[in-house]
Chain A
Amino acid sequence: MIGPLLKGLRVTFGHLLKPSVTVKYPYEKREVAERYRGRHILKLDEDGREKCCACGMCEEICPADAIKLYGKEDPEFKYSDVGKYAEYYVIDYARCIFCGLCVDSCPRGAIEMTQDYELTVPGPGRINLIKDKGWLLEKRGGE
């Protein structure tokens, strides 16, 4: 009867001496996997033009219906190398389930997911979680 009781005490004392597993979150951040699916980013090509051609595949496949976009013609190839670009591109992070299907479905590799998982926003409501193109576009040259 006494043996198991002492064994229990030994187990808890062992845990007392073990280092804790706590990550002191705001001060130190957890390492994420290399292919972690965090927030999206819209890629740019070598000339700094958007890769996105506004085909709408991501909007079509999104199971959470989080993506909305519409394209616009660009005859002077100013914004894109195919003559069409997404004038309006919005991801609602209150809906997004971070499945990554938009990335898989993109024919031009224009949308990718990053390791950034800190998506909390100030204020009540979900309006601040709806992110537009300005926030999603990849930044180039200290822009």
Chain B
Amino acid sequence: MLAAIVIAVIKMLVLFAVLMLFVAYGTLAERKVSGHIQDRLGPLYCGPHGFLQPFADGLKLFFKEDIVAKESDKFLYFLAPMIAIVPAILAIGVIPFGESITLFGRKINLVMTDINVALLYLLAVSSFSVYTIVFGGWSANSKYPLLGGLRSAAQFISYELILGLSIMGVIMIVGSFSLVDIVHYQKGMWMVVYQPLAFIIYMVAATAELNRLPFDLPEAESELVGGYHTEYSSMKFAMFFLGEYANMVITSAVAVCLFLGGWYSPVPFLSWVPGPIWFVVKLVAVFFFLLWLRWTYPRFRYDQLMGFSWKYLLPLALINILATGGVMLFLQGGI
């Protein structure tokens, strides 16, 4: 009993530390990748090739003046940045990143908890992150955050649906909501081969959920200053930032689990490389793809965004589910 608690605590600490490390270096990666895509260099002088930049940024934000908007709704104003990172921390509990290992004669699962409704849980906690944006937008009592919050609410309702529908095909094939089961199913072949359309829809919907370009209407710098976090400064602003990048990491991790074979190596002769390393490599690849998207496509107009969701993605997702069901029925030999 005691050993189980100790193991759980250690796993929690390691996962949290790794998530924070990913978030810190996610911000650096964003700046470096955007720099190089624009033929610049990005952060360069803080440590070798700007390697210590995240810590310098953190220190700077920590010592900046903490401005509280005068006419704000104080409770929600303080609550919004507090809960910004909560969905990501809740979500990391169900993400498996390796096969069970045996240490000191004790079997350790490389996942915090393998609950049988992991995917439902993930969808539930990830939709929680809309509260951060809506609270932040509402409470500051200022026009730009309010517009950002409104846009975000509409965007979330549209794309949450698409996100849920896109992973239905995967669940139908595997027959389980557990992420561990889904990854085990992909030992021979990645799910993206069976469900390419679902993967594309998932990535589009996830990008929209993360409020990243080309779907970053809630924070659209050129129209809304900073969107929902316009009135925040110092560490409160940093919390929004942390939340955004933590959500990116989690979304990438879920994409890896659902479609890219989790911790399994893509080619058999490299299977001696430990699972968690493969997991991280794939995670970084998906993360990089999100950054790459950001610097390639311009922002959607608002009606285009909604139209794209309801007119194209929703029918596509439904067709994907129908086609998956039809093929499964056919393979089983008809009704």
Contacts and interface: CB of A to CB of B under 8 A. Distances in A.
B39 interface: yes
User: Would you list the 3 A-B pairs with minimal beta carbon distance, nearest first?
Assistant: A12-B296, A22-B41, A8-B296
A11 B41 contact: no
A1 to B, nearest CB: 10
B38 interface: yes
Interface in A52-104: none
Indicate the size class of the contact surface on chain A.
10 to 19
B295 A12 contact: yes
B37 A15 contact: yes
A12 B289 CA distance: 11
A9 B296 contact: yes
B296 A20 contact: no
A133 to B, nearest CB: 39
Nearest to B45: A24
B39 A21 contact: yes
A66 to B, nearest CB: 35
Contacts of B277: none
A12 B37 contact: yes
B37 A20 contact: no
A28 to B, nearest CB: 12
A13 to B, nearest CB: 7
Given A16-B33, A24-B44, A9 B39 contact: no
- Prevailing SS type, chain A contact patch: helix
Contact of B39 (A8, A11, A13, A15): A15
A8 B35 CA distance: 17
A21 B41 CA distance: 8
B38 A15 contact: yes
A5 B296 CA distance: 9
26 contacts: A8-B296, A8-B297, A9-B293, A9-B296, A11-B296, A12-B37, A12-B292, A12-B295, A13-B292, A15-B36, A15-B37, A15-B39, A16-B33, A16-B36, A16-B37, A16-B292, A18-B39, A19-B39, A20-B40, A20-B41, A21-B40, A22-B39, A22-B40, A22-B41, A24-B41, A24-B44
Given A9-B292, A15-B39, 11 more contacts: A5-B297, A9-B293, A12-B37, A15-B37, A15-B38, A18-B39, A19-B39, A21-B40, A22-B39, A22-B40, A24-B44
B292 A20 contact: no
Contacts of A19: 39
A18 B40 CA distance: 10
A36 to B, nearest CB: 24
A15 B33 CA distance: 10
A100 to B, nearest CB: 32
Interface string B35-58: 111111100100000000000000
B49 to A, nearest CB: 12
A104 B295 CA distance: 48
A15 B41 CA distance: 12
Interface in A7-38: 8-9, 11-13, 15-16, 18-22, 24
Nearest to A7: B296
Contacts of B44: 24
A10 to B, nearest CB: 9
Contacts of A24: 41, 44
B39 A20 contact: yes
Interface in B247-284: none
A20 B35 contact: yes
A18 B41 CA distance: 11
Contacts of A16: 33, 36-37, 292
A132 B128 CA distance: 68
Contacts of B295: 12
A105 B14 CA distance: 74
A19 to B, nearest CB: 8
Contacts of A15: 36-39
A16 B36 CA distance: 5
A20 B36 contact: yes
A22 B32 CA distance: 13
Contacts of B293: 9
